[in-house]
Amino acid sequence: MLFNSLAFLVFLPTVFLLYWFLLKENKGRNVLLLLASYLFYGWWDWRFLSLIIFSSLVDYLVGKRMAGEDNEQRRKRLLFISIFVNLGLLGFFKYFNFFIDSFINSFDFLGMNLNISTLYIILPVGISFYTFQTMSYTIDLYKQEIKPCNDPLAFFTFVAFFPQLVAGPIERASHLLPQFYKKRNFDYTQAVSGLRLILWGMFKKIVIADRLAEYVNIIYSDPAAHTGLPVILGTIFFAFQIYCDFSGYSDIAIGTARLFGFDLMTNFRTPYFSKTIKEFWSRWHISLSTWFRDYVYIPLGGNRASTSRWITNLMITFVVSGFWHGANWTFVIWGAIHGIVNGIEALNSKFQLLKFRLPTILQVMLTFTIVCFAWIFFRANSFGDAILIIQNAVDFSNGLSNVKIISAFDLAILLLLVGFLISTELISQSDNTVEKLLKNQTVRYISYITLILLIVFFGVFQNKQDFIYFQF
């Protein structure tokens, strides 16, 4: 079920009313949340529910066994089972064809023709997210950072919790799981802030992201046909499209969870105002970057190693992160670009290679430019397309004659929307002006109604786009 669908508009109030009005006990509420989560997921394809249930069952049982086990070797074996099952599912459904294709291409390159058929495999929505979430439970348990869960209902609901099931935030068991144990009382302020986040998230997704997508798709679906400014603009628009798409989803997820008395972690903190790539990753998809930090980067040795090993650890983490996003070399290159720049920044911070500091605004612009450059590989359909886009972006032989690929009105709307987003984030970042303004009920109501009307008149409802991160 999509957040931006009519079905969800009916689903959410129904579950909300049943949850708070009909059920008073925690157990009953957890049962409802579990059933609602399975319905939410099954709405897309009920067959893949078995994967979530299987993954939950394996990790629950592994957790139970690990709890009563003192033998380190056996504990390790249990952890291995959990990782093997989860990564095995992910590997099969997400990467099987990629590896087969890469294998064939490698032999093709050497002049050997292999005839291996690939399988038609549907990528189950959200598999990258829930496998990482449930895996974090067994890893933390192994590290004895959390206590084992003895309530299967709570555990299964933790894995399948519908607000964040398909695209995060990827929650840690230590943060989310205990919330299923304790009694939840309705909190007016929390619920209102939840609704506010849902509205803002919907606006970002339906209006900004999906409108920008129309321009971006024109450029990226036929990169050979466009040069100069439209290509640069298309890439900048993609930066804002993916931000509004994904942070919009996170806002809706966090807001929805708040309606049910849950607190999910912040996933984005105005990432495009970052002064370095390192800072960018502390503000972009925070739940994933901290996951990779805690379960890949630090176990590899992190920065507590020789300089070369440290840089290698950074590279490995970012390349793996890129690969997590998609079974395509373009994502690997995207990750590698971030890894390289992170490595350069790390070396600079350690050895003070640059003797001067750029003004903040230039640092922000430079970081944004690097992020946009990397987005080209993320968005392009192939490596060849990405190279073509880079070449065409600096080709100004056609002047400004080809700027107008959509109507002037539509282009003006897109620029206004991006400007509106930047101003809002700038204001909300600098002080609490927005919060102060929203304390006034009239201002608050006018703001909400304006957002609703903007969604109605400028939202994309025909040919609406899926959330980008659903494909991961």
Q: Which residues bind another protein (CB under 8 A)?
A: 20, 186, 188, 191-192, 195, 407, 409-410, 445, 448-449, 452-453, 455-459, 461-462
Q: At closest approach, how far in Å is the CB of 178 from another protein?
A: 24
Q: Categorise residue 119: left if φ over 0, alpha if ψ from -120 to 50, beta otherwise.
A: beta
The pair of structure tokens assigned to 429 is 């970042």
Of 198, 244, 267, 255, the residue nearest 465 (C-alpha): 244
Of 187, 45, 198, 226, the residue nearest 126 (C-alpha): 45
Looking from the CA of 173 toward its CB, the CA atoms found within 13 Å total 28
Of 270, 265, 243, the residue nearest 254 (C-alpha): 265
Handedness of CA 130, 133, 134, 139 (dihedral sign): positive
Q: At closest approach, how far in Å is the CB of 437 from another protein?
A: 18
Catalytic residues: 325
Q: At closest approach, how far in Å is the CB of 266 from another protein?
A: 23
Quick one: 225 or 456, whose CB is closer to another protein? Answer: 456
Q: 286-291 long-range contacts, Cβ below 8 Å, gap at least 24?
A: 286/169, 287/168, 287/169, 287/170, 287/171, 288/132, 288/168, 288/170, 288/321, 288/324, 289/321, 291/132, 291/136, 291/170
Q: At closest approach, how far in Å is the CB of 453 from another protein?
A: 7
Q: At closest approach, how far in Å is the CB of 455 from another protein?
A: 8
The pair of structure tokens assigned to 383 is 């490596």
Quick one: 87 or 405, whose CB is closer to another protein? Answer: 405
Quick one: 192 or 394, whose CB is closer to another protein? Answer: 192
Quick one: 345 or 410, whose CB is closer to another protein? Answer: 410
**Rounded to 5 degrees, what angle do the CA atoms 152, 155, 158 make?**
150
Of 206, 204, 211, 210, the residue nearest 414 (C-alpha): 211
Q: At closest approach, how far in Å is the CB of 387 from another protein?
A: 32
Q: Which residue has the tokens 């935030």?
A: 169
Quick one: 119 or 408, whose CB is closer to another protein? Answer: 408
Q: At closest approach, how far in Å is the CB of 456 from another protein?
A: 4
Alpha-helical (H) ranges within 284-398 are 286-292, 298-300, 307-325, 329-351, 360-379, 383-393
The pair of structure tokens assigned to 431 is 């002080």
Q: What share of the chain is helix, strand, coil (3-state, %, to 5)?
A: 75, 0, 25
Quick one: 114 or 449, whose CB is closer to another protein? Answer: 449
Quick one: 121 or 446, whose CB is closer to another protein? Answer: 446
